[in-house]
Chain A
Amino acid sequence: MEERGHTEARRGVPELTNMVGIDFDRLAGFRYAIVTTVSSEGYPWSIPTEFEVTIKHEILLRKPIWANAFTGKRVGVLFNHIAAIPSGGYTERRYMLVWGKLTESGDKLKLTPEEVSEWDEKILPFAQLCAKSAPQGQKYLEKL
């Protein structure tokens, strides 16, 4: 599993990133969230926490320790899923990476989405994803 992306087709055409368009039903199916910001030392800093999607489509995160380091900041929040294969390895890969601002909402942190990148192998099979990503491969080879 690695960097991949699509956004679910609203009219059948997957796109790599989307400024809006979150499928909240699918989002609610993830088990936890990973919040990432940049530390004072300049390194990425990630922490997992629980979350819920309200009926008003608000994304509320349980405050992890050092929540004040995130509050008011633009963060990246990854929602990720894999399922184990009994004989080894994993399947059912899907993730949603949402960028947005975190604000206090009672005892929770509310994520206001600004941009999303996602991939679900059931929606965009891996072979199609590879074909779609050829321009990035070409770009990398040309820079070598």
Chain B
Amino acid sequence: MIQVPSWVRDVFENYLICEITTLDNDKPVTFPMLFFYDSSSGKFAVTSSILFSKKVEHLKKNPRVSLLFSNPTGSTVPKHAVLVQGNAKCEDSDLDHGWERFLPQWREKEPYIDAFLSEREKFSWFWKRIVIEVEPRRITAWKNADTQKQGEEFRS
């Protein structure tokens, strides 16, 4: 587990979304996504509907991924920028229930998610979800998002 200072942990524990990048051959493809952080392991997870699963196809060919945390909207943490580079593992053996272990964290970030869940039948394929787990290899952090300066680097 990579050790980081408290202001970086605050970002991981409080930001709502990150910007995930996968590689389509050498083409970087970046999308904003809700993420979940496990402070005990230092790993991250996102879940993707099969409807929006191109990123998973990319990761199955090349597991190298990055998560950028740059948007503090909806949190009380100041604006910083933290880049996590790591390897992703995609879990799609139980599309209907495998992702449900993240529901408690999901509810904290999006309290209205249960209203969508109650329409699970209507959006059945949206709720077929792949779990993408990311194990960090390198973290680069810019306090106050000052990306004109060298970031602080942390490795395992």
Contacts and interface: CB of A to CB of B under 8 A. Distances in A.
Contacts of B81: 47-48
B130 to A, nearest CB: 8
Contacts of B66: 36, 43-46
Interface residues of B, number: 56
A32 B70 contact: yes
Interface string B20-64: 011100111111111000000000001011111111110000001
Nearest to B137: A43
B141 to A, nearest CB: 12
A90 B73 contact: yes
A36 B30 contact: yes
A65 B30 contact: no
Interface string B56-86: 1100000011101011011000000101011
Interface residues of A, number: 50
A3 B68 contact: no
A1 B21 CA distance: 14
A83 B17 contact: no
A140 B50 contact: yes
A137 B73 contact: no
A38 interface: yes
B73 A83 contact: yes
Contacts of B150: 65
B27 A42 contact: no
